[in-house]
Amino acid sequence: MALRWTRKALENLDQIAAYIAQDNPTRASSFVGEIKEKTELLVAFPALGRPGRVPGTRELVVHENYVVPYRVKGDTVQIIRVQHVARLWPRQFGS
């Protein structure tokens, strides 16, 4: 399996890092690293996450405040977003 991040998911990571870096740049870097490390598990275990709220997706809880919705397309795991749990969840994700 291959792991592919959408542009939106990468933007989410950048926004999260920028927010955390305002108070702690070192933690911002390590936090993003932790998220990436956890999503790498999906390469070997694509069904690791729970069934998603959006049809056709799954969700990996990477932190108590962040969930990574993803979909499996053929031999690729597509990371769709990095979603804060307090944010409104979309009814669907773009492809």
φ, ψ (nearest 5 deg) of residue 5: -95, 135
Tokens of 78: 């597509």
Residue with tokens 């977003």: 81
pLDDT number for residue 93: 78
CB count within 10 Å of CB 56 equals 12
Domain ranges, ordered by start, for the chain: 2-84
pTM for this structure? 0.91
Q: What is the pLDDT of residues 1-48, one digit of tens each?
A: 999 999 999 999 999 999 999 999 999 999 999 999 999 999 999 999
For 40-95, write each residue's pLDDT tens digit.
999 999 999 999 999 999 999 999 999 999 999 999 999 999 999 998 777 777 75
Fold exhibited by the domain 2-84: YaeB-like fold (3.30.2310)
